[in-house]
């Protein structure tokens, strides 16, 4: 990765940033988000993922914002959980390892044992898989505790009324694929494709799964 990339960590953006700084940050990430997804994502949705979170990590290229990862710090079933709320990168800055860099920094900062996210994206799945000692669902073994309780709590938090506690999948969450084209992960896509097939996750029909992992300690990539 070139030195022109940097990651800016902002904790509690609504509390630590002035109104002007919040507006400036949001305005810089709206076009980035829409470009990254290739769809006209609503401004309020972007705002929730940029400002309505416990922490946001902004990826910059030569000073300009090119993407972000936002997180919430949850306590579920007595366990601290790092929840990846949202992430997107401008299309020309994708496949540069930026999500991995953001995850590593967020994991270090949060000092949590567990990580979770809701996604239909194989790129995000593989990035989590690389950093977890175990990651559920995997489609083979029924998710044990506390993974099940964590997933159920997150599903309830997100209002996933049709969430399946056995597969951790909800059919039709998004109403379709979140991106203009279904994302692919070169090199390790087969592992994601196999797992998605085992748990019945179909991005094309808008499905989403909650993935919960126990982080490696220490983190070994």
- C-alpha angle 12/218/148, rounded to 5°? 70
Q: Are residues 104 and 142 in the same domain?
A: no
Residue 1, pLDDT score? 44
Residue 83, pLDDT score? 99
Q: How sure is the predictor about 185, in pLDDT bands with cuts at 50, 70 and 90?
A: low
Q: What is the mean pLDDT of residues 12-33?
A: 98
Domain boundary among 112, 139, 174: 112
Q: Are residues 96 and 61 in the same domain?
A: yes
Domain boundary among 97, 112, 127: 112
Other beta carbons within 10 angstroms of residue 139's beta carbon come to 15
Residue 220, pLDDT score? 57
Q: Are residues 23 and 104 in the same domain?
A: yes
Q: Are residues 105 and 126 in the same domain?
A: no
CB of 96 within 8 A of CB of 66? no
Q: Are residues 133 and 29 in the same domain?
A: no
Q: Are residues 100 and 147 in the same domain?
A: no
CA distance 125 to 168: 13
Here the CATH number for the domain that contains residue 5 is 3.40.630.30
Predicted structure pTM score: 0.93
Q: Which two tokens stand for residue 83?
A: 């929840």
Q: Are residues 163 and 205 in the same domain?
A: yes
Q: How sure is the predictor about 221, in pLDDT bands with cuts at 50, 70 and 90?
A: low
Instruction: Give the pairing of strands 55-61 and 64-76.
Output: antiparallel
Burial (Cβ within 10 Å: 0-12, 13-18, ≥19) of residue 69: buried
The count of domains in the chain is 2
CB of 199 within 8 A of CB of 168? yes
The average confidence (pLDDT) of the chain is 93
Q: Are residues 104 and 135 in the same domain?
A: no
Q: Are residues 95 and 146 in the same domain?
A: no
Tens digit of each residue's pLDDT (9 = 90 or more) over 34-51 = 999 999 999 999 999 999
Q: Which two tokens stand for residue 194?
A: 């196999």
User: How many residues are listed for the chain in this entry?
Assistant: 221
Q: What is the mean pLDDT of residues 187-213?
A: 89
Enclosing domain of residue 133: 117-221
Helix ranges (DSSP H) in the chain? 13-16, 19-37, 43-51, 98-110, 122-131, 147-157, 189-199
CA distance 113 to 93: 30
Tell me the β-bridge partners of 59. 7, 67
Other beta carbons within 10 angstroms of residue 166's beta carbon come to 10
Q: Are residues 9 and 30 in the same domain?
A: yes
Percent of the chain predicted with pLDDT > 70: 92
Residue of 17, 23, 103 whose CA lies nearest to 59: 103
Domain boundary among 55, 77, 112: 112
Q: Are residues 150 and 83 in the same domain?
A: no
Q: Are residues 76 and 136 in the same domain?
A: no
Tens digit of each residue's pLDDT (9 = 90 or more) over 114-143 = 999 999 999 999 999 999 999 999 988 889
Residues 6+ apart with CB under 8 A from 1: 96, 97, 98, 101
């Amino acid at each position: 990765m070139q030195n022109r990339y940097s990651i800016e960590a902002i904790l509690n953006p609504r509390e630590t940033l002035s109104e002007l700084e919040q507006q400036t940050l949001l305005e810089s990430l709206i076009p980035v988000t829409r470009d990254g997804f290739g769809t006209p994502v609503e401004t309020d949705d972007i705002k929730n993922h940029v400002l309505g979170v416990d922490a946001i990590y902004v990826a910059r290229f030569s000073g300009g914002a090119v993407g972000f990862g936002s997180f919430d710090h949850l306590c579920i079933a007595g366990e601290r959980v790092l929840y990846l709320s949202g992430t997107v990168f401008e299309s020309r800055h994708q496949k540069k390892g930026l999500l991995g860099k953001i995850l590593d920094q967020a994991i270090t900062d949060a000092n949590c044992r567990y990580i979770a996210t809701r996604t239909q994206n194989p790129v995000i799945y593989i990035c989590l898989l690389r950093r977890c000692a175990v990651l559920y669902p995997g489609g083979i073994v029924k998710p044990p505790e506390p993974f099940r309780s964590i997933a159920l709590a997150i599903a309830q938090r997100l209002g996933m009324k049709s969430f399946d506690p056995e597969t951790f999948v909800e059919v039709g969450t998004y109403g379709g694929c979140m991106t203009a084209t279904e994302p692919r992960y070169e090199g390790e896509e087969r592992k994601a494709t196999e797992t998605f097939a085992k748990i019945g996750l179909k991005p094309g029909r808008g499905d989403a799964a909650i993935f919960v992992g126990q982080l490696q300690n220490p983190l070994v990539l």
